[in-house]
Amino acid sequence: MFEGTNWTTVFVALATGGTAACGPLLLWSRQVKRERESVRASLLAEVSALLEMVERRNYVRDLRATEAHLKALSPDQLKLINTEEFGFALPAGENYNRVYQANVSRLGVLSAAEATQIVRFHQLADSVRADVSSGGVLAIGSVDHESYGETAGILEAAIEIGTQLIKPRLSRWQRMKNRFKK
């Protein structure tokens, strides 16, 4: 059945076909890698910028100071306060997380752990934004110290997640070295 078959020709044909099939697969895998890196870099840059803004504007410090001040007041003193004097309103528009909104459908290119943390960060940040934006519990004014404490706690949780996300990742080689050091 295989007598007289020129095996060299068969192998050349198989090699040529295999190479032709591998080319598009290689290009596709490179494109996926570039997309993953681009989406990740964009999302982490936005997280970093939001963290920097929160830090520069001392939001946590101010929320905690207001919480402490209100907590120190007696119930009678609290009754005398005009709640509008204790408003904590920030001009946080709907577009503070444009990069996240534009890439929500592409979060699947990230690792499951990283995508989860990015979603958690933005959900917590969105909760804080709702509290301090027009109509929010702190924006309209409140003398309830717990409201300030809860918002500060949510913001601190978002900061912790964001800080972990933007922390430089170790290379595979560095991670392997660290495993053997332990």
Percent of the chain with pLDDT over 90: 52
Query: In terms of residue numbers, what domain contains 144?
Result: 44-181
Residue 71 domain flag: yes
Measured over the CA atoms of residue 87, residue 118, residue 107 and residue 31, the dihedral's sign is positive
Residue 20 domain flag: no
Where does the pLDDT of residue 92 fall: very low under 50, low under 70, confident under 90, or very high at 90 and above? Answer: low
Distance CA 107, CA 179 (A): 29
Residue 27 domain flag: no
Residue 4 domain flag: no
Residue 49 domain flag: yes
Distance CA 120, CA 169 (A): 19
Instruction: With a cut of 80, say whether residue 68 has pLDDT above it.
Output: yes
Q: Name which residue leads in pLDDT, 165 or 91.
A: 165
Distance CA 182, CA 174 (A): 13
Residue 55 domain flag: yes
Domains contained in the chain, number: 1
Residue 161 domain flag: yes
Residue 131 domain flag: yes
Check: CB of residue 155 under 8 Å from CB of residue 102. Answer: no
What residues contact residue 34 under an 8 Å CB cut-off, 6+ apart? none
pLDDT in tens, 149-163: 999 999 999 999 999
